[in-house]
Amino acid sequence: MDAEDDSDNWLSHGTGVVVRKDGWIVTNAHVILALQKPVVVTPEGKSYPVSKWFADEESDIALIKINAQNMKPATFVRPNPTLKVGEGVVALGTPVSFTLRNSATSGIISGIDRAVDSSYKLIQTDAAINPGNSGGPLVNMHGEVIGINTLKFAAVGIENMGFAIPSDTVNLIVQHFFKYSKVKRASIGVELEESWAAYVGLPTDVPIKVTNVVSAQAKKAGITEGDVLYAINGKPVKTLVDVHEALKSFLPGQQVKLTMQSKGNLVAKMVVLSEAVKPAVKDKSVDADK
């Protein structure tokens, strides 16, 4: 699937992946938000106006709807796949120009669990990801989607550094859209600060520090400013991305155990998760006649 803008001032295009046969397609949030009157063009060349969409800027995932039936959904890799650095992959999409739609570039997985300009961990690849590839699939050698292409580094002296959102994150966000029409993102209810070393990606044992207690649930759990956080439900966290990853499968109202240091003592605190206050979703029904 390719998406274009059919407004008078053509601005952008991108790529998407069919997730349900009744016309639901996943792409990048930054793709759909750049289009005023989005139109989907299928590989067969048929055009459909987008009738509805949801976009989550924090994950850069969007879900769009077209009035089409009997589409062929892509096959996504099984949950929690074991990805290996050096494994062959192919990026599919529409690079640079709409005349180049359905292009494929090959490469390898260059790295996993990358914390790059995202709230969640990404897959790094050297497969060429050019403007217009955003929202397209990164597939393994079995034809399974392992991620959705999202960004690349582009600067003098930098080559072949592209990134994709892993399929488990994609599927989680999509299911939230289907169930809640938004992303119900859970929060511990505190503001956290990571170390400088963690921020730039250096190995560090400096823990994450609580700088402000926001929610009533966190205050009730006894969390105070200056506490440090070591783990969530036994899963070690050293960066803010680690925290987002540890919480992404939870919903507001659920409870987690935090391993913390408070007033010099190592303690376990149970906290009921609140809903993140930052707007996490935009949704829109599109009138194709306007």
The domain boundary, picked from 21, 43, 71, lies at 71
Is 95 found in the same domain as 57? no
Comparing 236 with 96, which gets the higher pLDDT? Answer: 236
- Which residues are registered as beta bridge partners of 14? 3
How high is the pLDDT of residue 67? 95
Q: Encoding tokens for residue 220?
A: 């009730």
Stretch 113-139: mean pLDDT: 90
Whether residue 290 has pLDDT greater than 60: no
Whether residue 209 has pLDDT greater than 50: yes
Q: What is the mean pLDDT of the chain?
A: 88
Q: Is 142 a catalytic residue?
A: no
Is 195 found in the same domain as 141? no
Please state the pTM of the whole predicted model: 0.88
Is 197 found in the same domain as 142? no
Query: Does any domain span residue 81?
Result: no
Query: Does any domain span residue 290?
Result: no
The domain boundary, picked from 180, 199, 227, lies at 180
Is 111 found in the same domain as 173? yes
Of 134, 167, 187, 215, which is the active-site residue? 134
Domain that holds residue 114: 88-180
The 10s digit of each residue's pLDDT in 13-65 is 889 999 999 999 999 999 999 888 889 988 888 999 999 999 999 999 999 99
Is 248 found in the same domain as 173? no
Is 229 found in the same domain as 169? no
Is 168 found in the same domain as 103? yes
The 10s digit of each residue's pLDDT in 146-184 is 999 998 876 656 777 899 999 999 999 999 999 999 999
Whether residue 10 has pLDDT greater than 80: no
Q: Is 60 a catalytic residue?
A: yes
Question: How many structural domains does the chain have?
Answer: 3
Stretch 109-128: mean pLDDT: 91
The 10s digit of each residue's pLDDT in 70-92 is 999 999 998 878 899 999 999 99
Query: Does any domain span residue 197?
Result: yes
Query: Does any domain span residue 78?
Result: no
Residue with tokens 């939870």: 250
Is 52 found in the same domain as 17? yes
How high is the pLDDT of residue 279? 45
Is 191 found in the same domain as 271? yes
Q: Is 30 a catalytic residue?
A: yes
Is 231 found in the same domain as 266? yes
Query: Does any domain span residue 288?
Result: no
Is 176 found in the same domain as 209? no
How high is the pLDDT of residue 45? 84
Name the pLDDT band for 5 (thresholds 50, 70, 90): low
Whether residue 140 has pLDDT greater than 50: yes
Query: The CATH number of the domain where 228 resides is what?
Result: 2.30.42.10
Query: The CATH number of the domain where 8 resides is what?
Result: 2.40.10.10
Of 30, 113, 195, 283, which is the active-site residue? 30
Is 176 found in the same domain as 93? yes
d(CA 185, CA 7): 33
d(CA 24, CA 38): 14
Of 56, 60, 227, 242, which is the active-site residue? 60
d(CA 21, CA 23): 6
Whether residue 288 has pLDDT greater than 70: no
Whether residue 289 has pLDDT greater than 50: no
What is the share, in percent, of the chain residues with pLDDT greater than 90?
Answer: 69
Query: Does any domain span residue 10?
Result: yes
The domain boundary, picked from 45, 71, 97, lies at 71
